Homo-oligomer: A and B are copies of this chain.
């Protein structure tokens, strides 16, 4: 956030409104998850430490501001952020956090945000049910909003996310996965919730349908760029900077965009080297970390990384174009800055 602010002083009041709103989001988040059972509270406190970038709640807020019919010339930004905005922002973070907790079980990950994962500390069983608790609490909060519109959107988005994840699992270790299927997976698994967050922010501000759709498109493109950047960080990132285990995608047989590009364009001889390495990387008994490093080294010598960076860049450009229908305002400038930040991040 600091770098964004230095680049454009118009963003400072937006950043202040985000910070104030996220405090409200955290309060609602904590209240909704509170339990009278001490063992449940202990787990909730642990998972609250997972809160990181807060991308989805931030998008609900900034999208709600940028799409607000009264935004032009408005100086009291905080007054435009309603309680339903705050509740939906908390709901999006809860749903996202549930997927993190379940993903850590699936990935057998040991670290998350520089701390130990729930599965590592309390076992897979507890992590699965804690994820369910987060999802159930998210829906409960959503259905308290009075109108069914948000609950409907969140329910639909969650089902789409799961279908995307199931499609990804179906294609695990599938060395012939093409880009079209990759984008189908990413669109559902990652982009759907981010798109829904942005669209709901606008909807709760009473924006016109065309504006809500523009923000849905913005969120979808940001989400896809975000996932490609995640793919790149898993390949080229530094564990200490990223804050979670790297190289996991290769080990789990998840085909990422750089790898798909590499396999689609490599000479048969190179392909012939990588495919057996991929199998070894996914083999729990073999020294998979070493195979993963070898693949990473081969990809580094190809155009695969540059190609994926360019694809992410193009999605950011589409996101920026999508919000050009909105009137110029500091929150719109923030949406554009956030889209650009997604692919410059190193964490």
Additional A-B contact list (18), CB under 8 Å, known A136-B159, A142-B155: A37-B163, A39-B166, A39-B167, A106-B124, A106-B125, A125-B169, A129-B169, A133-B162, A136-B155, A136-B161, A136-B162, A137-B155, A139-B154, A139-B155, A140-B159, A142-B151, A147-B148, A151-B151
CB nearest to A141 among chain B residues? B155
CB nearest to A164 among chain B residues? B37
Residues of A within 8 A of B (CB): 35, 37, 39-40, 43, 98, 102, 105-106, 122-126, 128-133, 135-137, 139-148, 151-152, 154-156, 158-159, 161-163, 165-167, 169-170
CB pair B155–A140 under 8 Å, yes or no, is yes
CB pair B163–A35 under 8 Å, yes or no, is yes
CB pair B40–A129 under 8 Å, yes or no, is no
CB-defined contacts of A126 to chain B, threshold 8 Å: 166, 169-170
Q: How far is the CB of A223 from chain B (nearest CB, A)?
A: 17
CB nearest to A39 among chain B residues? B170
CB-defined contacts of A155 to chain B, threshold 8 Å: 136-137, 139-143
CB pair A159–B137 under 8 Å, yes or no, is yes
CB pair A129–B158 under 8 Å, yes or no, is no
Inter-chain CA distance A98–B144, complex, in Å, is 23
With A140-B152, A144-B152, A151-B139 as contacts: A129 and B159 at CB distance below 8 Å? no
CB pair B142–A37 under 8 Å, yes or no, is no
CB pair A165–B135 under 8 Å, yes or no, is no
CB pair B166–A102 under 8 Å, yes or no, is no
Task: Please name 27 pairs of A and B residues whose Cβ atoms are closer than 8 Å in the assembled complex, sorted by A.
Answer: A35-B163, A37-B163, A39-B170, A102-B129, A102-B132, A106-B129, A122-B169, A128-B128, A128-B131, A129-B162, A132-B132, A132-B158, A133-B159, A133-B162, A133-B166, A135-B158, A136-B162, A137-B155, A139-B139, A139-B154, A140-B159, A141-B155, A143-B143, A144-B152, A146-B148, A147-B148, A151-B151
CB-defined contacts of A152 to chain B, threshold 8 Å: 140, 143-144
Inter-chain CA distance A131–B102, complex, in Å, is 11
CB-defined contacts of A159 to chain B, threshold 8 Å: 133, 136-137, 140
CB-defined contacts of A145 to chain B, threshold 8 Å: 148
With A140-B158, A140-B159, A152-B144 as contacts: A129 and B166 at CB distance below 8 Å? yes
